[in-house]
A and B are shown apart, each in its own frame.
Chain A
Amino acid sequence: MASTTPAKRPDPARLLSAPARWTLPELALWVAAAACFWVFPSKLLLLNEVAILALFALSLDLILGYAGIVSLGHAAFFGVGAYAAGLLAKHGIADPLVGLGVAAAAAGIVGFLSSFLVLRGSDLTRLMVTLGVALLLFELANRLDGITGGADGLQGITMGPLLGLFEFDLYGRTAFVYSTTVLFALFLVARRVVHSPFGLSLRAVKGNLLRARAVGISSSTRSVAIYTLAAVYAGIAGGLTAQTSQFVSLDVFDFHRSADVMLVLVLGGTGYLYGGIIGALIFRLMQDWLAGITPQYWQFWIGLVLVLVVLVGRERIEGLPRGLMGLLRRLTGRPAAEGTRP
């Protein structure tokens, strides 16, 4: 069609969709995730936690990596989802998927309402407001001990079988498949969202708010939408935790949970969706491994790694695999993808 244009000019529609196309490493990652079921049958409980943490971090990535909204209280939505799913199961509705839906809805409502608090203000204000909301919910759950069990936690949760067929077992087989499938499904949705025109507008708002408004973007409605979606994701992560551990304690609202998920994203990187998954894997495995060696001081090593990651710089670490990929492409003679983005 465009044969009159000089040289070989890339098709603009293809160029725009380039980031949305699946790549080999992506597919490999998901195949590897599925293979874990057979390769590490004794580690499924741990891997279940990795999947849930990854989903939680993916949720934070949606607001931090794509919309530039910082949060130190993301556990608020995780906690709401966990208590919603836990309470539902405790009071007789034991179907996991129904519970997950209720967890998502509850967290979504709280997320929508609190989103208006983070619309205005600087990063510092947002850090304080999100932190404040999580503290409020923590104390609320503590105070309402008649419903939540307070400091003793929510006891007596019994989950029904998944899809009416698969009972949750002691080895975490059902839990792992359940959490990983949910993570994958929500990842697919997130992937579509960030590569859509809506996702593009979020990146614009993050990149330059003044100009984003000057091209007609209503930044506040976009922020409300993504904040609410992120809250739904966090709520589902919380719901999965409640269902697969069959226990909920005040810990789900705790500050360390918000801080950990931020740490996970720092380790894995923001703004390309896989940061949460990679970060969660590194963080949780490192935690597990270090806790085995130095049960009391494992946080020292986590802290050290964190400082190193920040000092050495993400670009240099990230550049490594990309450099290797480029080398691989040249060796296999495949043309470099057009419009590769950082």
Chain B
Amino acid sequence: MSIVLETRGLTRRFGGLIATNDVSLSVEKGARHALIGPNGAGKTTLINLLTGVIQPSAGTIRLEGQDITGLSQNARVRRGLARTFQINQLFPELTVLETVALAVSERVGAGTAWWRSTGSHRDIAEEATAILDQFNLGDVMGERTAVLPYGRQRLLEIALAIACRPRVLLLDEPAAGVPEEERHEILAIVAGLPADVTVLLIEHDMDLVFSFADRISVLVGGAVFVEGPVDAIARDPRVREVYLGEGDHG
């Protein structure tokens, strides 16, 4: 198996605080890799470093063997690295269809087309519709995003990332805040992601992590504490101690 996403010695300091400390991570092609850790372990900082929202103080990031450390956020997306957000980051004024059409049009390079109307790009409309159907959002595609119920906004959050047709997808707590009775829909979507898309999942929900991931990295204090296959991590007494804790995990 080849490595698609790799960091070496990735470090980020905020003043005296080391939020990410010498993280070297290797994610294999097609992997379902989970990143777990207690609050404040630096998971979000790591995601922000990987996607280029912030720049590292030291270290490198490679995507499919190419150094992307200095690339802008949008350039990384065009190279095939997409993400979702822990707190919905959508476009409240756009319709559901426009939202996904936007991502499709950027991916196919139509984002600078300024003369023909968006709807006259038939291929974009059709692909966007296909993605929405896949996410069971076809019936609300004419609605404004702002009026969607939270659970469906959460689905759109993932659909928008998928519309970028990523080779590596970073899922930041996809089921965060979703009511219990709607969780299964999110989980089914996550489980049904295309096998050739490599997924790095940041998650608090241990049921989701253990049912979904094939490999887990445990982040503690900004550094990788331990990494390994799911069953090994589940059995690791040190992990139980620092992360799962006694009776901490319900």
Q: Is the Cβ of A211 less than 8 Å from the Cβ of B85? A: yes
Q: Which residue of B lies closest to A213 (CB)?
A: B73
Interface presence of A208 (CB below 8 A): yes
Residues of A within 8 A of B (CB): 5, 9-10, 12-18, 20, 192-193, 195-201, 203-204, 207-208, 210-219, 222, 225, 338-339, 341-342
Interface presence of B77 (CB below 8 A): yes
Stretch at the interface among B19-27, B123-131, B195-203: B123-131
Q: Is the Cβ of A196 less than 8 Å from the Cβ of B116? A: yes
State A200–B98 Cα separation when bound (angstroms): 8
Complex A-B: 22 CB contacts under 8 Å: A13-B120, A13-B126, A15-B95, A15-B141, A20-B119, A192-B117, A193-B115, A195-B117, A196-B113, A197-B105, A200-B94, A200-B118, A204-B102, A208-B90, A208-B92, A210-B53, A210-B85, A214-B73, A214-B161, A216-B164, A222-B112, A339-B97
B-side contacts of A14, CB under 8 Å: 119
Closest-CB distance, A188 to chain B (whole angstroms): 11
Interface residues of B in 105-145 (CB under 8 A from A): 105-107, 110-122, 124-126, 128-129, 138-139, 141-142, 144
Interface flags for B228-244 (1: CB within 8 Å of A; 0: not) read: 00000000000000000
Among B101, B111, B164, residue most surrounded by chain A Cβ atoms (within 10 Å)? B111
B-side contacts of A342, CB under 8 Å: 93, 144
Q: Is the Cβ of A16 less than 8 Å from the Cβ of B119? A: yes
State A15–B138 Cα separation when bound (angstroms): 12
Interface presence of B216 (CB below 8 A): no
Interface presence of B66 (CB below 8 A): no
Interface flags for B51-73 (1: CB within 8 Å of A; 0: not) read: 10100000000000000000011
Q: Is the Cβ of B124 less than 8 Å from the Cβ of A197? A: yes
Q: Is the Cβ of A216 less than 8 Å from the Cβ of B77? A: yes
8 Å CB contact of B94 from A9, A195, A203, A213:
A203
B-side contacts of A216, CB under 8 Å: 74, 77-78, 103, 106-107, 111, 164
Interface presence of B89 (CB below 8 A): yes
Q: Is the Cβ of A215 less than 8 Å from the Cβ of B103? A: yes
B-side contacts of A207, CB under 8 Å: 91-94
A-side contacts of B112, CB under 8 Å: 197-198, 222, 225
Query: Contacts A9-B138, A15-B141, A203-B91; is A217 near B106 (CB within 8 Å)?
Result: yes
Interface presence of B82 (CB below 8 A): yes
6 A-B pairs with least C-beta separation: A17-B119, A16-B119, A216-B77, A198-B114, A20-B117, A207-B91
A-side contacts of B78, CB under 8 Å: 216
Closest-CB distance, B115 to chain A (whole angstroms): 5
Interface presence of B160 (CB below 8 A): yes
Q: Is the Cβ of B77 less than 8 Å from the Cβ of A16? A: no
Q: Which residue of B lies closest to A221 (CB)?
A: B112
